[in-house]
Amino acid sequence: MKVLMFGWEFPPHISGGLGTACYGLIKGLNHHNQEVIFVVPKLWGDEEPLADFVNASDVEVDYREKKFIDTWQNLTYLEINSYLVPYLGPEEFEKYTDYTLHHRSDIDETVFSNKYQFSGKYGKNLMEEVARYALVATQVARMKDHDVIHAHDWLAYPAGIAAKEISGKPLVAHIHATQYDRAGKGGDQGPVYEMEKAGLLAADHVVAVSHLTRKIVIEKYGVHPDKVSVLHNAVLDASIIESKIKKKVPEKIVTFLGRITYQKGPEYFVEAAKKVLDRDPNVRFVMAGSGDLLNRMVERVAELGMGTKFHFTGFLKGQDVDDMYAMSDVYVMPSVSEPFGIAPLEAVRHNTPVIISKQSGVGEVLRNAIKIDFWDVDAMADAIFALLHYESISRMFKELGSQELKKLKWEHVAAKLVTVYEKLHQKQP
């Protein structure tokens, strides 16, 4: 089977989990001898050669051709109010500033040229890039022979739809995160939601990363249940990481590691920390990461008078992230709405027991973790206390958790995906 795949990013140049998931999936598909053409807005040249990569920035598009004009006109309306940065954390914000400076200089060139230089980031011109990416897709769909089209998340949905219009091949829309998860109430508004909905409805089949996400796709986007299947993410490496880092404080450490934003539920972690500290002062809580709610969390910690037991590290990267997992005695992910959430699996690799919210997709594959409702701070505090004090349960979670991890292989995910492809292919006239 030849798969024409559209994805916004690919390792090593990634800013979120999307690129990592694409990488794992393609590795799995390779294992099953599937051919993948992967179209990425910008190719850097240091990607692992797992697919027939197409650099959208290299593809010439003749803008005078009517077909393109139609696609373009359908898409440009989305640019209104397009200063919208869905995934942007502070770390990406920096990259984005770099990018605008760079981009300004080649605006003239792109107006007259048939090629468009994509940034491939999540910057201010994101909506324009998404639209131009779709134009490129029509050209690629014409050039490259393929059996099935596969698009990852809303950024690639217009491209998937455009490709399908050209080749008539079946379209798989893969959904890693929805606007509902990112924005909470009110997620059913705005251009991102519209693009998600258009993509999901136009697709011949939808692949969701969890049952939780499948439910959202059906209930909030009105997609027919028969059309949606679940494909959980996997891990590239399930081996246990033996860290040399030694904790320098005698107390047990309970960690929140992630963006400090509404979606991740940091405030519930803070409230639960207070409840635990009231009962047991020999614990330290760490909130690692940054985000728009950071200052509010700092204020709340001070208000609750636990500033000497609750610490903030700011944004962590590289080795610091591994060290943080390794030093932790409990990892908590209290997300309000998490389509999947790979971080707890990383914690398991560091032999750290985890507590995850029932509103997180990863709970469907990680059975050996404590699951609580994100809002139930009493249950969260109980769970933290239990994992800290009752050694048997945390030892059990460590052992069983790592066994579960070993089952999460991208080959298995890809095998399921191939059956989806095959069914779609057979339906073809």
Interface stretch with other proteins, choices 45-53, 88-96, 297-305, 344-352 (CB under 8 A): 297-305
Closer residue to other proteins in complex, CB, 192/327: 327
Site mask, other proteins, residues 213-252, x = CB under 8 A? ----------------------------------xxxx--
In the sheet where 205-208 sits, what is the strand order? 52-55, 35-40, 2-6, 148-152, 171-175, 205-208, 228-230
CB of 417 to other proteins, least distance (A): 41
CB of 372 to other proteins, least distance (A): 25
- 181 bridge partner residues: none
Closer residue to other proteins in complex, CB, 12/281: 281
CB of 285 to other proteins, least distance (A): 11
CB of 282 to other proteins, least distance (A): 11
Site mask, other proteins, residues 300-329, x = CB under 8 A? -xxx-x-xxx-xxxx-----x--x------
Q: Name the one residue in this structure whose structure tokens are 């598009």.
A: 61
Can you say how many angstroms the Cα of residue 108 is from the centroid of all Cα atoms in its chain? 34
CB of 350 to other proteins, least distance (A): 15
Closer residue to other proteins in complex, CB, 50/316: 316
CB of 242 to other proteins, least distance (A): 19
Helix residue spans in 350-409 (DSSP H) = 377-389, 391-407
Q: Which of 84, 85, 202, 298 binds other proteins (CB under 8 A)?
A: 298
Closer residue to other proteins in complex, CB, 210/290: 290
Site mask, other proteins, residues 7-46, x = CB under 8 A? ----------------------------------------
Task: Tell whether residue 260 is a contact of other proteins (CB under 8 A).
Answer: no
Q: Which of 295, 403, 419, 428 binds other proteins (CB under 8 A)?
A: 295
Closer residue to other proteins in complex, CB, 228/286: 286
**Phi-psi label, residue 398: left if phi above 0, alpha if psi -120 to 50, beta otherwise:** alpha
Closer residue to other proteins in complex, CB, 158/289: 289
**Phi-psi label, residue 383: left if phi above 0, alpha if psi -120 to 50, beta otherwise:** alpha
CB of 286 to other proteins, least distance (A): 6
**Phi-psi label, residue 314: left if phi above 0, alpha if psi -120 to 50, beta otherwise:** left
Instruction: Kindly state the tokens that stand for 400.
Output: 């069983």
Closer residue to other proteins in complex, CB, 111/249: 249
Interface stretch with other proteins, choices 109-117, 190-198, 294-302, 390-398 (CB under 8 A): 294-302
Q: Name the one residue in this structure whose structure tokens are 């850097």.
A: 44
CB burial of 49-68 (b: ≥16 within 10 Å; e: otherwise) equals: ebbebbbbbebebeeeeeeb
Closer residue to other proteins in complex, CB, 15/328: 328
Extended beta strands in 238-366, E state = 252-257, 283-288, 310-314, 330-333, 354-357
Distance CA(221)–CA(208), nearest Å, equals: 13
Check if the beta carbon of residue 243 is closer than 8 Å to that of residue 326: yes
Number of H helices, E strands in the chain: 16, 13
Extended beta strands in 41-104, E state = 52-55
User: What are the Cα distances from residue 3, in Å, to 6, 171, 285?
Assistant: 10, 10, 46
CB of 90 to other proteins, least distance (A): 12
Please give the size of the binding site for other proteins, defined by CB under 8 A. Answer: 23
At residue 426, the 3 state secondary structure works out as helix
Query: How many other CB atoms are there within 10 angstroms of residue 193's CB atom?
Result: 19
CB of 142 to other proteins, least distance (A): 52
Question: Residue 365: what are its φ and ψ, rounded to 5°?
Answer: -110, -20
Interface stretch with other proteins, choices 33-41, 62-70, 116-124, 293-301 (CB under 8 A): 293-301
CB of 318 to other proteins, least distance (A): 13
User: How is residue 309 annotated by DSSP?
Assistant: T
CB of 306 to other proteins, least distance (A): 8
Site mask, other proteins, residues 271-290, x = CB under 8 A? -------------x-x----
Closer residue to other proteins in complex, CB, 35/322: 322
HSE, CB side, 13 Å, CA atoms: give it for residue 162. 30
Closer residue to other proteins in complex, CB, 287/355: 287
Q: Which residues of the shown chain bind other proteins in the complex (CB under 8 A)?
A: 247-250, 284, 286, 294-295, 298-299, 301-303, 305, 307-309, 311-314, 320, 323
